[in-house]
Structure 1
Amino acid sequence: MNAKSKKEYFLPLILTFIVILTDQLTKWLVVRSIAPWSVGFTFWGDFLRIVCVYNTGAAFSLGSGLSSIMRFIVMACIPTVFIGAICVVYFRSDFTHVQRWFLSAVIGGGISNLLDRFFRVEGVVDFIDVKFYGLFGLERWPTFNIADSAIVVGAAGLFIIIIMQEYYTKKKQKNTSDIEPHEE
Structure 2
Amino acid sequence: MSGEDTPPAPRARRIGLLVTVAAVAYALDVVSKFLVVRFLEHQEPLTVVPGVLVLNVIRNPGAAFSIGTGMTIVFTLIAGAVVVAIIRTARQLRSLPWAITLGLLLGGALGNLTDRIFRSPAPLQGHVVDFLQAFPVTHFPVFNLADSSIVCGGVLAVFLAWRGYQIDGSRQTEEQADD
TM-score bracket, normalised by the shorter chain, equals 0.7 to 0.9
Describe the shift of the 1:173–1:49 C-alpha distance in structure 2 as closer, same or farther (beyond 3 A). closer
Structure 2: which 5+ residue stretches go unaligned? 1-6, 122-126, 166-170
RMSD over equivalenced CA pairs, Å: 2.4
1:54 pairs, out of 51, 59, 63, with 59
Q: Could you state the TM-score of these two structures normalised by the residue count of structure 1?
A: 0.79
- 2:72: which partner in 1? 71
- 2:37: which partner in 1? 31
* Equivalent-residue separation in structure 2 for 1:25 and 1:9 (angstroms): 24
- 1:131: which partner in 2? 135
Describe the shift of the 1:23–1:132 C-alpha distance in structure 2 as closer, same or farther (beyond 3 A). same
- 2:173: which partner in 1? 169
Describe the shift of the 1:52–1:126 C-alpha distance in structure 2 as closer, same or farther (beyond 3 A). same
| Secondary structure, counterpart of 2:100 in structure 1 | helix
Contact 1:24-1:112 at 8 Å conserved across structures: yes
* 1:140-174 per-position Cα deviation (integer Å, ceiling 9, x unaligned): 21100000000000111111011012797115788
For residue 96 of structure 1, report the CA deviation from its aligned partner: 1.3
Q: Which amino acid aligns with 1:77?
A: L
Q: Which amino acid aligns with 1:49?
A: V
- 1:121: which partner in 2? 120
Q: Could you state the TM-score of these two structures normalised by the residue count of structure 2?
A: 0.81
- 1:182: which partner in 2? none
Q: Which amino acid aligns with 1:86?
A: I
Q: Which runs of 4+ in 1 moved over 4 A?
A: 171-174
Structure 1: which 5+ residue stretches go unaligned? 134-138, 178-184
- 1:21: which partner in 2? 27
* Equivalent-residue separation in structure 1 for 2:42 and 2:63 (angstroms): 19
Q: Which amino acid aligns with 1:131?
A: F
Structure showing greater Rg: 1
Describe the shift of the 1:173–1:105 C-alpha distance in structure 2 as closer, same or farther (beyond 3 A). closer
* 1:36-88 per-position Cα deviation (integer Å, ceiling 9, x unaligned): 3740x213323210111110001111111x2xxx531x111122012201210
For residue 97 of structure 1, report the CA deviation from its aligned partner: 1.5
* Equivalent-residue separation in structure 1 for 2:111 and 2:41 (angstroms): 22
What is the aligned-residue identity percentage? 27
Contact 1:56-1:124 at 8 Å conserved across structures: yes
- 2:47: which partner in 1? 42
- 1:11: which partner in 2? 17
- 2:141: which partner in 1? 142
